[in-house]
Structure 1
Amino acid sequence: MKKLATTVLFGKDGQLSGLIALAIVGAIALGCSCNKQFGDLGKTDSNSNSSPTSNSTAPPPPSVSKPDASTGEVPSEAQLQEMTRTTILDFNAAIKSGDFTNFHRTVSKPFQKQASPEKMADAFKVFTEAKIDFDEVQTLPATYSPPASIQRASGVKHLQVLGYYETSPRTMKFDLKYIPEGKDWKLIAIEVNTK
């Protein structure tokens, strides 16, 4: 982990690398206690009566137009809900499978350059080993606090999305940062906290 942080922090683009490293280190240090404090949050229990296909009965989310990142404006509430849900569920799929290849394809180019799928898998190993499952967010609205905003950190303009999902038994808090790539908002940093 120290090697990953050093590589990310002292790579060619120090400012952006620092932002990425802070998110990864923060996710590990603050995002997961991965011990008995989790209770039943997201743990897959083989004795459970629920099946992995039980979510197929949930109605699909309404179709929402994709936000245009090139405008530099904060997406609408519906667009933010869709972006947040998609990001968390993509992250969740990577955690459940232990393979971050598909998640890696969805993040920004700078994030991809700084962290390979293998490095992501290693950085988020605590989530994978704890068998965390965030499928519940499929049917929950995210609460944003404070409201999403355009920020600058280390000279990099990004969309800051902080909030939480009222998951049970513990609330899942998130801190997501996106940068514009053409017309798309692409993830540059992710921090998830279930404490």
Structure 2
Amino acid sequence: MIKNGHNYRNALGGMLAMGIIAAIALGCTCNKGFDLSELSNKANGTGSDRNDPFGGKEEAMPDENLLKAIVKETTADFAYAISEDDFSKIYGKSAPELQKTYTEQQFKDTFSDFTRQKSTLLPILSRAVTSDPVYDGEPKFRTEKGHKILVVDGKYPTKPMPVTFGYEYVKRDGTWKLLVLKVYIR
């Protein structure tokens, strides 16, 4: 029985959360490739050390598919955090530098306007999660304290408003970790 549409909204919210989870589970391989040349390099002692955050060499730009997967995963994690008002997952995946700068609660508080307006914003974020990002210029590296930071700016051309993002990542233990998260819906 539906009273004042509350059960409908709860069901819709649950379906949205399941859709986001399915998009993450089914749509992202997130750098789980198998590269035989890397195994050969490691056997010869020329491969990168996975404990060196920058592989002991110049950091390479992720290929197009990996970059898209990283960006889409971040967007899906953000949408999930807003949907559930639970930032533990996205915070747990973030770079140690972000975690040293902000507590999980401070990170969550930064996006309190989003969680307060989630009934309006979740449909837009849901469309973003299921579409491909459009980059604002080429992704690039910037250097901070001698470390290369991957900078990716862009948007999802969602209606009625686009989702604009500015994500920055640093590579730690062979994985790109979130360092900066900027999201605007306007």
User: Out of 126, 150, 153, which is 1:159 matched to?
Assistant: 150
Match of 2:15 in 1: 53
CA distance in 2, matches of 1:111, 1:47: 34
Describe the SS at the equivalent of 1:146.
coil
Counterparts of residues 14-93 of structure 1 (less than 5 Å): 52-53=14-15, 55=19, 60-61=26-27, 63=29, 65-66=31-32, 70=55, 72-93=59-80
166 and 184 in structure 1: CA distance in 2 versus 1, 3 angstrom threshold: same
CA distance in 1, matches of 2:175, 2:31: 12
User: Percent of aligned positions with the same letter in both sequences?
Assistant: 23
User: What runs of 5+ residues in structure 1 fail to find an aligned partner?
Assistant: 1-45
52 and 166 in structure 1: CA distance in 2 versus 1, 3 angstrom threshold: farther
**Amino acid of the structure 1 residue aligned with 2:170:** I
Match of 1:17 in 2: none
**Amino acid of the structure 1 residue aligned with 2:86:** D
Deviations 1:60-81 (A, max 9, x none): 4264634896361111111111
Please say which of residues 50-59 and 111-120 is displaced more in the overlay.
50-59
Match of 1:170 in 2: 161
Match of 2:179 in 1: 188
CA distance in 1, matches of 2:84, 2:103: 16
Match of 1:95 in 2: 82
CA distance in 2, matches of 1:47, 1:92: 17
Indicate conservation of the 8 Å contact 1:66/1:79, yes or no: no
Deviations 1:106-155 (A, max 9, x none): 10001111111111111110111111321222320111121111112465
Question: Which structure carries more relative contact order (alpha carbon 8 Å, separation 6+)?
Answer: 1
Describe the SS at the equivalent of 2:75.
helix
49 and 128 in structure 1: CA distance in 2 versus 1, 3 angstrom threshold: closer
**Amino acid of the structure 2 residue aligned with 1:166:** P
CA distance in 2, matches of 1:136, 1:158: 28
CA distance in 1, matches of 2:93, 2:133: 20
Describe the SS at the equivalent of 1:118.
helix
Match of 2:141 in 1: 150
Higher Cα radius of gyration: 2
- TM-score of the superposed pair, with normalisation by structure 1: 0.67
User: What runs of 5+ residues in structure 2 fail to find an aligned partner?
Assistant: 1-7, 34-49
Indicate conservation of the 8 Å contact 1:165/1:171, yes or no: yes
Count of residue pairs the alignment pairs up: 152
Indicate conservation of the 8 Å contact 2:91/2:99, yes or no: yes
77 and 96 in structure 1: CA distance in 2 versus 1, 3 angstrom threshold: same
CA distance in 2, matches of 1:116, 1:49: 32
**Amino acid of the structure 2 residue aligned with 1:111:** L
CA distance in 2, matches of 1:130, 1:138: 18
